[in-house]
Amino acid sequence: MSMLSNAISGLNASSAALNTVSQNVANAAVKGYSRQTVVLQTADGSQNGVKVTKIERVVDEFLNADVWRTESDLNYYNSYQDYLGYLEEVLGTDSLNLNDALAELNSSFNAALVQPESAAYRQQVLSSAEAMVQDLQQLDGAMTGQITKLEFELKAVGENINSTLADLAALNQKISKEAALGRDTSVLLDTQEQTLQTLSGYLQVDVLRADDGSVTVSALNGAPLVMSGTASQLTVAGSTVTVKFNSQEFPLSGSAGGSLGGLLRVKSEVLDPARAELGSLVSTIADKVNTALSEGFDLNGSPGEPLFVYNAADPLGTVQVNTAMTTDMLAFRGRVDDGSGNWIPSGGKGDNGNLVNLVQSIQGVGAGYDSLIGKLAIQSKQVQASAATAGVLNDKAITARSSISGVNRDEEAANLMYYQQLYQANAKVVSTAGQMFDTLMTMF
């Protein structure tokens, strides 16, 4: 091959390299852009110059996978902590502290010991009981509200996942088509990787890339999410999440990862158990007080009636003070056996024999509430630590990927000078070849 042809091939190669450098510099601030580089190769044959084999995106699939995994972990713990932290704060607030309400009820019982027939002391007992029920209703409202909010958020996350899966399926089709036509797919691949990062924030995924650049995406449990140009449909019903691919259905559990997994796990591990535990505590308090009252007599000499009523299926959500209860009906008087196996009042209206039972009935029950708050505090601290660690790992993963795929302006400036000099050198060769040809022509 002639000197001129060699120089022209060099000009073309350096021009392509300069165009690639300019593309990198222009997109340096574009999120998700992967820098490109020119792959040069000696042309076939002896002294046939140089050729551009391809314009290559500089990516590392392992670093991408690390970013997606840490993105999933970070969103998982953040979603988990949002609800856990709120519940810990609500249960620990002074104005809704169940132990404070129990202390008020206990104080009203103790105050009535002095003059148990007093309407004022009896009304104080009823007022304390009403105040405690109001606190419990507020707690129930806060917890029920969080569960409702979580279910709405789960549906929203499900819709976002479906939209993202559809985008990935459409990108697969475009990438496959462009690759088959031999066209550049760099922009599409950048968009695909950004979409995968968005998806991994919602749930953790496994990604397999085909030779044409399209991807197959599946959930951690193997449920197919995207295959070629087909996307699954994710449905959320309460806390049940199902993936439907064609006619097959696959369940997704709390191990899904991402914000979806965090929401599912916090409901099953925190919200539902905490509400059940608090409901159990409420039924225990109500039963103990009601049992104590049943062992005494009221001002009119009638057996004691329950102070609290509730539905055993949902103690926290239904507990209330017995609407039929009056101050006269509070069974503060003690009882004795009349010798025939029947119970009768042990004293007159001023008898406080059963008040001791009432005071003792609520002793120690507050420990269950303290235990619940302590458990939530420990969980919250652990999740916060995990979220902080996940954030650090995610930052490091993004930095590591950027060090490979991101645009380094100093490096591009050096490349610009290098390829500019290469272009100038090849142009000089072209000029020299022209001069040699002109000199040769003057000899004839």
Give the pLDDT confidence of 20-64 residue by residue, as tens digits: 999 989 999 999 899 999 998 888 877 778 888 888 899 999 999
pLDDT digits (tens, 9 = 90+) for 115-162: 999 999 999 999 999 999 999 999 999 999 999 999 999 999 999 999
Q: Of 258, 292, 308, which residue sits at a domain end?
A: 258
User: Do the Cβ atoms of 296 and 278 come closer than 8 Å?
Assistant: no
In contact, 261 and 204? CB cutoff 8 Å: yes
Domain check: are 123 and 176 in the same one? no
DSSP bridge partners of 248: 245
The two tokens of residue 376 are 């939530």
Q: Percent of the chain, pLDDT > 90? A: 69
Residue 444 has pLDDT above 70, yes or no: no
Q: Are residues 97 and 85 in the same domain?
A: no
107 and 183 inside one domain: no
In a domain, 252, yes or no: yes
Mean per-residue pLDDT for 210-226? Answer: 93
Residue 329 lies in a domain: yes
What CA–CA distance (Å, rounded) separates 186 from 31? 14
Query: Domain boundary at 378, 398, 421, which?
Result: 378
* Residue numbers of the domain that contains 357: 90-144+265-378
Each residue's pLDDT tens digit, 249-295: 999 876 799 999 999 999 989 999 999 999 999 999 999 999 999 99
Inside any domain, residue 443? no
* Residue 150 belongs to some domain of the structure: no
CA–chain centroid gap for 197, Å, is 15
Q: Does residue 416 form part of some domain?
A: yes
User: Among 383, 385, 387, 379, which Cα is nearest to 71's?
Assistant: 387
Q: Please, what is the end-to-end C-alpha distance for the chain in angstroms?
A: 24
8 and 71 share a domain?
no
- 279 shares its domain with 296: yes
220 with 72, same domain? yes
Name the domain count of the chain: 3
Which secondary structure element, helix H or strand E, spans residue 346, and what is its range? Answer: none
Query: Do residue 249 and residue 308 come from a single domain?
Result: no
Q: Do both 279 and 332 map to the same domain?
A: yes
Q: Is residue 315 part of a domain?
A: yes
Q: 202 with 219, same domain?
A: yes
In a domain, 139, yes or no: yes
Residues 139 and 17 in one domain: no
Same domain, 251 and 185: yes
Q: Residue 440's pLDDT is what?
A: 67
Q: For residues 157, 155, 145 and 386, what is the CA-based torsion angle, rounded to 10 degrees?
A: -30
The residue out of 258, 273, 306 marking a domain boundary is 258
Rounded to whole angstroms, how far apart are CA atoms 101 and 95? 9
Q: Name the E strands within 65-156.
A: none
Q: Residue 59 to residues 88, 313, 379, 401: CA-CA distances in angstroms?
A: 43, 57, 38, 8
Specify if 402 maps to a domain.
Answer: no
Regarding whether 372 and 288 lie in a shared domain, the answer is: yes
Q: How far, in Å, CA of 373 to CA of 381, rounded?
A: 12
- Round to whole Å and give the CA distance between 370 and 3: 88
What's the pTM value of the predicted model, to 2 decimals? 0.87
